[in-house]
């Protein structure tokens, strides 16, 4: 048997079922792994070790009694600190939420709990999920396990670093413009942004409500399908959650991709991307073709406007969502002579510079006289992106692209240049604007720098099954993710 910390959730579930391992043993191994590495990597904002061990003991007792809550009962996991967790500090990476202990669980947390997954803790992130490197966290830096001088990506960087370093087999992240897929790509993980409404947003601290979705970060495609299945489904507490049942994701995942039509985007010429990324992604297209897919060029002319549209729409929504942090209701407060002074001092001290930049951008874009020129225009671009994608899906079943134009960059390299940081998400942002599903799957190590590269597969809304099938076929044929080469040198 492999070392416990490198076992996948599927392998751990099998070992629990056969009795080869107990949840207690698994949890202890992951806690020890975290003890050894967390100081270097800076992944956790809050660990719930006692609780995880207690929950593991309960899971073991259930299994013994033949009452396992699910196939994965007893497989531990961790959450991005944006998910509301009852009785456990939740900050969304912001100082303004310091000391906030929520009175309820997010639906994602409640459903993971119902499946019996012990909670290891809460993971670092860019403040309110705004960023691509986790350097905007109000608390600490997180380092990339592949090279600790580099960023893990963001905003779900703590989740990515924890899974990539073997502290947990899986973690929940969130993706508003790329925050699951880009860190997955930079840390050689599988990361999924489901169709908008696939998973409930209830209890996710809102950044941009029309774009935010929860999704898994894992080391294999099957683990992502399994975790997503645990939490997906309609939730009456989120009016944007899609009604009805969700398609099965794990069942049939090994169905192959013979005859699948995959589009590559004409406008993504490789300009602005690392040559090593382009090389690996071209090889990935060839592999998909070898596996029986046909590759066709599709044109998505509006995609180049994705970043500017996103950086109007997301800040506009955040300026409104973040108005609730006023020093009265949650977390930190800085006193002042009256309520205006108290609120402005609390916000001035509680928010970091990127969050302030976004609130100002969004407030400006929504203000009278500018609304049509900025927010209204961005909404039109959003419609164009959605219709360009719909037209492409008349010809193809999936669209493939790099996930990120570059491999992991150095800590500090882009902190003074917001535009350079924003461009990290050039390939991922259009998917959130259109609401479709997408996955990032490891494509190997760049010949330029030996760092991970991710392949993005974009599916039609609610066509997660096809996306998982293609990602699975690619992963199995490449044979990289679960090999020694697919793990960081730790």
- Residues classed as catalytic: 80, 155, 179
When the beta carbons of 57 and 308 are compared against ligand GLN, the nearer one is 308
User: Rounded to whole angstroms, how far apart are CA atoms 388 and 239?
Assistant: 27
H or E stretch including 448? Answer: none
When the beta carbons of 202 and 472 are compared against ligand GLN, the nearer one is 202
When the beta carbons of 65 and 419 are compared against ligand GLN, the nearer one is 419
Q: Which of 453, 7, 471 is nearest to 219 (CA)?
A: 7
User: Is residue 218 within 8 Å of 1, Cβ to Cβ?
Assistant: no
- What is the CA 159 to chain-centroid distance, rounded? 8
Which residues are bridge partners to 83 per DSSP?
204
Strand, helix or coil for residue 411: coil
CB of 295 to ligand GLN, least distance (A): 28
CB of 345 to ligand GLN, least distance (A): 26
Q: What are 444's two structure tokens?
A: 């190997």
CB of 437 to ligand GLN, least distance (A): 15
H or E stretch including 457? Answer: strand 452-459
CB of 195 to ligand GLN, least distance (A): 15
When the beta carbons of 13 and 322 are compared against ligand GLN, the nearer one is 322
Buried b (16+ CB within 10 A) or exposed e, 281-317: beebbebbeebebeeeebebebbebbbebbbbbbbbb
When the beta carbons of 132 and 142 are compared against ligand GLN, the nearer one is 132
Phi and psi for 143 in degrees, rounded to 5?
-105, 150
Residue nearest to ligand GLN (CB): 179
When the beta carbons of 344 and 415 are compared against ligand GLN, the nearer one is 415
Q: Which residues bind ligand GLN (CB under 6 A)?
A: 129-132, 155, 175-179, 207, 314, 425
Which long-range contacts (C-beta less than 8 Å, at least 24 apart) are formed by 49-53?
A: 49/120, 49/121, 51/88, 51/118, 51/119, 52/27, 52/76, 52/118, 52/119, 52/120, 52/121, 53/24, 53/27, 53/28, 53/118
User: Is residue 364 within 8 Å of 134, Cβ to Cβ?
Assistant: no
């Amino acid at each position: 048997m492999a070392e416990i910390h490198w076992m996948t959730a599927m392998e751990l579930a099998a070992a629990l079922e056969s009795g080869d391992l107990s949840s207690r043993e698994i949890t202890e191994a992951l806690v020890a792994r975290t003890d050894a590495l967390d100081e270097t990597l800076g992944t956790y904002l809050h660990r719930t070790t006692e609780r995880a061990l207690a929950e593991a003991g309960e899971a073991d007792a259930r299994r013994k009694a033949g009452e396992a809550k699910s196939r994965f009962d007893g497989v531990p996991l961790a959450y991005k600190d944006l998910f509301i967790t009852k009785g456990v500090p939740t900050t969304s990476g912001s100082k303004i939420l310091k000391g906030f202990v929520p009175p309820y669980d997010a639906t994602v947390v409640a459903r993971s709990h119902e499946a019996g997954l012990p909670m290891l803790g809460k993971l670092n992130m860019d403040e309110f999920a705004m960023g691509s490197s986790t350097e905007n966290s109000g608390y600490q830096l997180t380092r990339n396990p592949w090279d600790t001088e580099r960023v893990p990506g963001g905003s779900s960087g703590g989740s990515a670093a924890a899974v990539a370093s073997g502290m947990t087999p899986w973690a929940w992240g969130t993706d508003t413009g790329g925050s699951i897929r880009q860190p997955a790509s930079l840390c050689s993980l599988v990361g999924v942004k489901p169709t908008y409404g696939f998973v409930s947003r209830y209890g996710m601290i809102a950044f941009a409500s029309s774009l935010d979705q929860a999704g898994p970060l894992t080391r294999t495609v099957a683990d992502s399908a399994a975790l997503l299945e645990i939490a997906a489904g309609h939730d009456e507490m989120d009016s944007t959650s899609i009604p009805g049942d969700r398609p099965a994701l794990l069942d049939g995942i090994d169905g192959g991709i013979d005859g699948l039509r995959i589009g590559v985007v004409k406008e993504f010429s490789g300009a602005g991307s690392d040559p090593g990324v382009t090389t690996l992604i071209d090889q990935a297209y060839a592999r998909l073709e070898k596996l029986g897919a046909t590759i066709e060029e599709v044109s998505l002319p509006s995609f180049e406007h994705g970043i500017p549209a996103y950086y109007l729409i997301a800040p506009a929504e955040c300026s409104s969502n973040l108005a609730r942090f006023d020093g009265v209701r949650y977390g930190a407060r800085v006193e002042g002579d009256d309520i205006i002074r108290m609120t402005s001092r609390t916000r001035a001290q509680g928010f970091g510079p990127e969050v302030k930049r976004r609130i100002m951008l969004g407030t400006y874009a929504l203000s009278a006289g500018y609304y049509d020129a900025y927010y209204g225009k961005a909404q039109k671009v959003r419609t164009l992106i959605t219709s360009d994608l719909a037209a492409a899906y008349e010809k193809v079943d999936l669209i493939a692209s790099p996930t990120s134009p570059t491999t992991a960059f150095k800590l500090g390299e882009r902190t003074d240049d917001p535009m350079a940081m924003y461009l990290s998400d050039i390939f991922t942002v259009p998917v959130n604007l259109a609401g479709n599903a997408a996955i990032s799957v490891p494509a190997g190590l760049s010949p330029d720098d030996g760092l991970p590269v991710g392949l993005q597969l974009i599916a039609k809304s609610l066509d997660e099954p096809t996306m998982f099938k293609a990602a699975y076929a690619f992963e199995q044929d490449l044979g990289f993710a679960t090999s020694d080469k697919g793990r960081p040198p730790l």
